[in-house]
């Protein structure tokens, strides 16, 4: 993961360590439109002001300020103050501090599923599926599939996903073809076979070269190796952790670790530091997010023509068509601590923004982040954009097949355990898959029980 994303996710660690005491200011207010005439996301005959926090990213802040200005033109009785979430010590910590100080905004974006679990546990956010108009918005925005994995352990939807970076595996097709491989491997055995052919032709190259594979303490790296492969192996049918319970599919988890072990035994892994190993051809495949594309365009302008993006490979017993992947995704929440009229006004604004695909197009154009819609890859509103950015379309096509982070506020500890007890010992040849899974499973269960 690039430096920008390491900073973004690494900052979340500070939240869990700081241990803010969140004020319990409500159990999730019930929002209706009964006392304000609402039509198509507009409010009439109701004067209200509220604050909206955008992500601490200039492009996202620009988008939301533009949306607010347009909305206020159509709704002169509504005043919206848009400002970026403070980043110090982290955006998550700033949100928690604001809640504790009773100065939270009415709504904010930049919320991942795991942080939503933290806020939900403190009754700090509103269950959106209990709001009048939620079902209609889900239908209008074409996101019925995209919102399903966002449910928290109580069965409610607290986050409306905005964007979804459905992670891909990138394959160096030039290296594969030089080794006599014409199609991207889709199953574990095909991957191993491809790796052996590449190794035979290029003894100094590897199939997967990534220092992240050997980093146990960098918890976020598990999104881009073990969990990405686990989501594919289960077809998204079995969560790894659900609420406070480890519900992982033992067979799938063991198959993933066995796959990593086979790569290690055949000298196809390089879990140590190397400068741009995929881009320079040291490794034949890598996990790829949309943020890689601008870097490639600038530093490696010829690379993309040699890369094919796909969903992760699966065990031989799984149909590759059922593969799923990890979603680097965030969304919007409404805070329970603000007056109900502000909650209502914020909801009407959110509904107005996302009822129109043209606004999702503006988002895509300004942020380069694929909207969390089931039809992002096929909606005519986005056709011209994807015609000009075909690589980004691959991420959009995978949105309905992606799984967001776990809904547990101990995500840092849990994913650190996954690395220390399972992934890293396996890729370093220090544990066999069975022992690694047994140790990982017990350590996770112990952590969840605390």
Confidence of residue 88 (pLDDT cuts 50, 70, 90): confident
Strands of 55-190, DSSP E: 78-84, 107-111, 160-166, 168-172
Could you report the per-residue pLDDT of 68-82, keeping only the tens digit for each?
999 999 999 999 999
The pLDDT of residue 243: 85
CA 282 to chain centre: 27
Range in 15-19, 141-145, 155-159, 303-307 with the lowest mean pLDDT: 15-19
The pLDDT of residue 90: 86
Range in 1-10, 256-265, 297-306, 390-399 with the lowest mean pLDDT: 1-10
The pLDDT of residue 10: 45
The pLDDT of residue 45: 52
The pLDDT of residue 44: 52
Could you report the per-residue pLDDT of 309-324, keeping only the tens digit for each?
999 999 999 999 999 9
pLDDT score of 158 more than 70: yes
Distance CA 344, CA 431 (A): 54
Contact in structure between 329 and 112 (CB atoms under 8 Å):
yes
Q: Which CATH architecture has domain 168-288+410-449?
A: 3-Layer(aba) Sandwich (3.40)
The answer to whether the bond into 247 is cis (omega within 30° of 0) is: no
Distance CA 145, CA 180 (A): 39
Q: Which CATH class is domain 24-165+327-403?
A: alpha beta
User: What is the residue extent of each domain of the chain?
Assistant: 24-165+327-403, 168-288+410-449
Mean per-residue pLDDT, 416-439: 97
- Kindly write down the DSSP assignment for every residue of 296-318, as one continuous string: HHHH-TTTGGGEEEEPPPB-TTS
Alpha helix positions (H), 330-417 = 340-354, 357-367, 383-388, 390-397, 411-417
Residue 49 burial (CB count, 10 A)? 13
Distance CA 445, CA 450 (A): 9
Tokens 């209706």: give the residue: 32
Distance CA 55, CA 7 (A): 14
Confidence of residue 20 (pLDDT cuts 50, 70, 90): very low
Q: Coil, strand, or helix at residue 415?
A: helix
Decide if 24-165+327-403 and 168-288+410-449 have a common fold: yes
Task: Considering only residues 27 and 260, tell me which one the structure prediction assigns the higher pLDDT.
Answer: 260
């Amino acid at each position: 993961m690039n430096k920008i994303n390491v900073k973004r996710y690494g900052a979340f660690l500070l939240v869990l360590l700081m241990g803010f005491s969140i004020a319990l200011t409500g159990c999730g207010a019930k929002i209706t439109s009964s006392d304000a005439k609402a039509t198509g996301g507009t409010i009439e005959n109701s004067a209200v002001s509220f604050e909206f926090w955008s992500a601490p990213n200039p492009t996202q802040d620009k988008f939301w300020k533009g949306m607010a200005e347009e909305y206020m033109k159509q709704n002169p009785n509504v005043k919206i103050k848009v400002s970026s979430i403070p980043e110090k010590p982290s955006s998550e910590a700033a949100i928690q501090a604001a809640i504790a100080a009773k100065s939270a905004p009415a709504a904010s974006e930049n919320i991942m599923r795991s942080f939503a679990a933290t806020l939900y546990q403190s009754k700090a956010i509103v269950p959106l599926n209990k709001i009048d108009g939620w079902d209609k918005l889900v239908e209008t925005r074409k996101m019925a599939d995209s919102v399903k994995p966002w449910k928290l352990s109580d069965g409610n939807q607290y986050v409306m996903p905005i964007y979804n970076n459905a992670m891909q595996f990138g394959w160096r097709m030039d290296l594969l073809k030089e080794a006599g491989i014409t199609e991207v491997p889709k199953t574990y055995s095909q991957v191993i076979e491809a790796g052996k052919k590449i190794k035979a032709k290029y003894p100094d190259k590897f199939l997967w070269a990534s220092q992240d594979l050997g980093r146990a303490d960098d918890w976020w790296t598990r999104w881009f190796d073990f969990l990405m492969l686990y989501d594919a192996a289960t077809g998204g049918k079995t969560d790894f952790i659900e609420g406070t319970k480890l519900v992982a599919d033992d067979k799938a988890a063991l198959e993933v670790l066995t796959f990593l072990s086979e790569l290690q035994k055949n000298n196809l892994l390089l879990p140590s530091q190397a400068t741009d190993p995929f881009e320079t051809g040291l490794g034949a495949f890598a996990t790829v997010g949309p943020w890689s594309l601008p870097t490639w365009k600038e530093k490696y302008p010829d690379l993309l023509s040699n890369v094919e993006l796909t969903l992760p490979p699966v065990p031989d017993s799984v149909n590759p068509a059922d593969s799923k992947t990890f979603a680097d995704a965030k969304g919007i929440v409404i805070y329970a601590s603000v007056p109900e009229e502000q909650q209502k006004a914020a909801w009407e604004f959110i509904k107005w923004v996302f009822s129109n695909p043209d606004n999702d197009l503006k988002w895509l154009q300004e942020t380069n982040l694929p909207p969390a819609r089931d039809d992002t890859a096929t909606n005519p509103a986005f056709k011209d954009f994807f015609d000009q950015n075909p690589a980004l379309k691959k991420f959009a096509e995978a949105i309905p097949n992606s799984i967001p982070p776990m809904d547990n506020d101990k995500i840092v500890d849990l994913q650190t355990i996954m690395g220390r007890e399972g992934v890293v010992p396996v890729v370093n040849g220090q544990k066999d898959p069975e022992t690694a899974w047994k140790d990982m499973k017990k350590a996770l269960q112990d952590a969840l029980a605390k």
